[in-house]
C-alpha cells in the first residue's frame, strides 16, 4: 500500500506519489494549484492573485489592475482613464475608443464624435495622447525597417511652441514622425515617435534629431530613453533569437555600457533562465531590454536618450551589428571581444567603432 504523507501547508494526508517538493517542503496537489510564479517579479508563492491572464504576488498585485474592456492586466503606470470615468483601459482599448485634443486639453470618445466636440477638429491636434497609434507609413525599401521612440525634454513652459518647432525641422518634406505625451516624463517631457524607416531614412532622421538641440530640445534625465524597433524578419529563426538573447544575458555590463545607462524596471536585464521560455513566447514581459511581445517588431529598450549624432547612430548600428553577429557565430563562440572584433572589421559601423574606442 502506497505511503501517505502530510502536506506542509494544509496538514492534509495524501499519497506520496502526488507530492511536490518546494524549497525542502512537501505540498499536496490542492496546495500546489495555488502556487504560482509572479508575472512581474518572477517570485513564486501561494499568495499570488490572478489579474487578467496573469498571476502576481501579493506585493506586485498592488501595482496592477484589469482593463475594463478586454480584461487584460495592466500596470497602473500604463493605465488610461477617460475624463469623468473610473474605468481603466489598456493602451490598445483606449486607443480604439478615445483621442486626446491638445488644443482643448480633453480626450473625446470616437464612438460618439467624429472630431473633438469642443473645437470640432478645426484646429489640428499635433500633440497626441500616449495611446495614439496612427496607421504606419513605411519609408524606404526592402524588408527590414526601424522605428524610433525618443524621450526628450522641451525645456520650455509652453510645450506646443517646441513641438511645432520639431515638426517644422523634421517633417519639412515628409511626415516621418509624430509627437506624443508620456506622463512618466514630467511636465516638459515629450516622446518623438517615427514611422517605419529603412536604414537610409533612419540615418537621415537621426541627423535631424541631433539638430533639435538648437531648438531647446534636451536629453532630459537619466530616466529618459530611446527605444528602437526592428522588423522581426531581421531574426531568421528561434535559434538566432536564442543566441541574441543569450548574448544580452551573458554581457549585461557591456550592454549597459553601449546603452549608456544601467538597467531599470523599464528595461529589465535579460536572464539565462528565461531564454527558452521567451523564445517559445512564454512568460514574456513588456519591459525586458529586448521586448519580443509585439507582433511584427522586436523592441530594444535599453538606450539612454542622448541627442548627439554619434550616439544616436551608434545605437541603430549596434542593433544591426549584434543581429548580424549572433546569426553568424555559434552559441558557444559568442562573446564581447568577438563582437567588438566583428564591428571593427566592418566598414558599415563607423559611429559604433568610434564609441567602442572610448572603453
pLDDT tens digits for 116-161? Answer: 766 655 445 477 777 788 889 999 999 999 999 999 887 655 566 6
Among 182-191, 193-202, 254-263, top mean pLDDT goes to 193-202
Res 172: pLDDT = 80
- Are 181 and 224 in a shared domain? yes
Over range 75-81, report the average pLDDT: 84
Q: H helices then E strands: how many in the chain?
A: 11, 19
- Are 199 and 99 in a shared domain? no
pTM of the model: 0.67
Decide which of 128 and 186 is more confident.
128
* pLDDT of 356 higher than 90: yes
How many structural domains does the chain have? 3
Res 206: pLDDT = 93
- Are 163 and 236 in a shared domain? yes
- Are 83 and 117 in a shared domain? yes
Over range 3-22, report the average pLDDT: 89
Q: 15-29, 106-120, 233-247: which has the minimum mean pLDDT?
A: 106-120
- Are 83 and 218 in a shared domain? no
Over range 248-271, report the average pLDDT: 83
* pLDDT of 226 higher than 80: yes
Does 275 fall in a domain? yes
* pLDDT of 83 higher than 70: no
- What is the chain's alpha carbon radius of gyration, rounded to the nearest angstrom? 24
Look at strands 127-128 and 177-180 and give their pairing. parallel
Does 134 fall in a domain? no
| pLDDT > 90: percent of the chain | 42
Q: 70-84, 141-155, 205-219: which has the minimum mean pLDDT?
A: 205-219
Q: Binning pLDDT at 50, 70 and 90, where does residue 266 land?
A: low
Over range 282-306, report the average pLDDT: 86
- Are 178 and 239 in a shared domain? yes
Number of Cα atoms under 13 Å in the Cβ half of residue 231: 16
Does 245 fall in a domain? yes
Does 133 fall in a domain? no
- Are 30 and 106 in a shared domain? no
Q: Of the candidates 128, 163, 197, which is a domain's last residue?
A: 128
Q: What share of the chain is helix, strand, coil (3-state, %, to 5)?
A: 35, 25, 45
Q: Binning pLDDT at 50, 70 and 90, where does residue 169 land?
A: confident
Res 215: pLDDT = 60
* pLDDT of 238 higher than 80: yes
Q: 92-106, 229-243, 267-281: which has the minimum mean pLDDT?
A: 267-281
Does 68 fall in a domain? no
Report the alpha-carbon distance of residue 177 to residue 127 in Å, rounded: 11
| pLDDT > 70: percent of the chain | 86
Domain of 268: which CATH number?
3.30.590
User: What size, in residues, is the chain?
Assistant: 359
- Are 180 and 257 in a shared domain? yes
- Are 244 and 98 in a shared domain? no
Task: Provide the 3-class DSSP secondary structure of residue 255.
Answer: helix
- Are 102 and 237 in a shared domain? no
- Are 262 and 343 in a shared domain? yes
- Are 323 and 349 in a shared domain? yes
Over range 221-248, report the average pLDDT: 91
Res 192: pLDDT = 92
Look at strands 297-304 and 290-291 and give their pairing. antiparallel
Does 47 fall in a domain? no
Does 65 fall in a domain? no
Res 150: pLDDT = 93
* pLDDT of 280 higher than 80: no
Long-range pairs, 317-325, Cβ under 8 A, ≥24 = 317/348, 317/349, 317/351, 317/352, 318/258, 318/352, 319/146, 319/228, 319/230, 320/199, 320/348, 320/349, 321/346, 321/348, 321/349, 321/352, 322/244, 322/247, 323/230, 323/234, 323/235, 323/244, 325/247
Q: Which residue range forms the structural domain that includes residue 18?
A: 4-34
Largest CA distance in the chain: 83
Does 62 fall in a domain? no
Over range 255-268, report the average pLDDT: 82
**Mean pLDDT over all residues of the chain?**
85
CA-wise closest residue to 259 among 323, 302, 228, 306: 302
Task: Provide the 3-class DSSP secondary structure of residue 171.
Answer: coil
Amino acid at each position: 500500500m502506497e505511503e501517505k504523507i502530510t502536506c506542509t501547508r494544509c496538514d492534509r494526508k495524501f499519497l506520496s506519489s502526488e507530492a511536490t517538493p518546494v524549497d525542502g517542503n512537501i505540498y499536496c496537489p490542492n496546495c500546489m494549484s495555488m502556487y504560482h510564479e509572479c508575472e512581474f517579479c518572477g517570485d513564486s508563492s501561494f499568495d499570488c492573485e490572478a489579474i487578467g491572464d496573469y498571476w502576481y504576488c501579493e506585493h506586485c498585485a498592488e501595482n496592477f489592475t484589469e482593463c475594463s474592456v478586454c480584461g487584460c492586466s495592466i500596470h497602473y503606470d500604463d493605465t488610461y482613464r477617460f475624463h469623468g470615468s473610473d474605468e481603466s483601459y489598456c493602451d490598445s482599448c483606449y486607443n480604439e475608443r478615445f483621442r486626446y485634443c491638445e488644443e482643448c486639453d480633453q480626450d473625446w470618445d470616437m464612438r460618439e464624435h467624429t472630431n473633438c466636440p469642443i473645437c470640432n477638429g478645426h484646429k489640428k491636434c499635433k500633440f497626441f495622447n500616449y495611446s495614439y497609434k496612427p496607421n504606419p507609413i513605411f519609408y524606404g525599401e526592402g524588408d527590414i525597417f526601424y522605428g524610433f521612440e525618443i524621450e526628450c525634454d522641451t525645456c520650455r513652459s509652453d510645450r506646443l511652441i517646441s513641438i511645432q518647432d520639431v515638426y517644422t525641422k523634421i517633417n519639412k518634406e515628409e511626415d516621418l514622425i509624430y509627437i506624443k505625451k508620456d506622463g512618466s516624463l514630467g511636465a516638459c517631457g515629450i516622446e518623438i515617435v517615427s514611422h517605419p524607416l529603412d536604414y537610409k531614412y533612419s540615418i537621415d532622421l537621426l541627423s535631424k534629431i541631433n539638430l533639435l538641440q538648437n531648438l531647446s530640445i534636451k536629453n532630459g534625465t537619466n530616466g529618459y530613453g530611446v527605444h528602437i524597433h526592428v522588423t522581426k524578419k531581421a531574426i531568421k529563426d528561434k535559434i538566432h533569437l536564442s543566441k541574441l538573447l543569450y548574448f544580452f544575458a551573458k554581457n549585461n555590463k557591456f550592454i549597459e555600457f553601449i546603452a549608456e545607462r544601467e538597467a531599470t524596471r523599464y528595461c529589465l536585464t535579460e536572464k539565462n533562465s528565461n531564454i527558452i521560455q521567451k523564445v517559445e513566447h512564454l512568460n514574456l514581459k513588456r519591459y525586458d531590454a529586448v521586448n519580443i511581445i509585439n507582433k511584427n517588431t522586436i523592441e530594444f529598450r535599453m538606450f539612454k536618450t542622448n541627442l548627439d549624432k554619434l550616439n544616436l547612430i551608434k545605437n541603430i548600428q549596434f542593433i544591426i551589428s549584434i543581429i548580424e553577429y549572433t546569426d553568424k557565430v555559434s552559441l558557444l563562440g559568442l562573446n564581447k571581444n568577438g563582437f567588438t572584433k566583428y564591428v571593427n572589421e566592418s566598414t558599415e559601423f563607423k559611429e559604433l567603432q568610434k564609441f567602442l574606442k572610448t572603453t
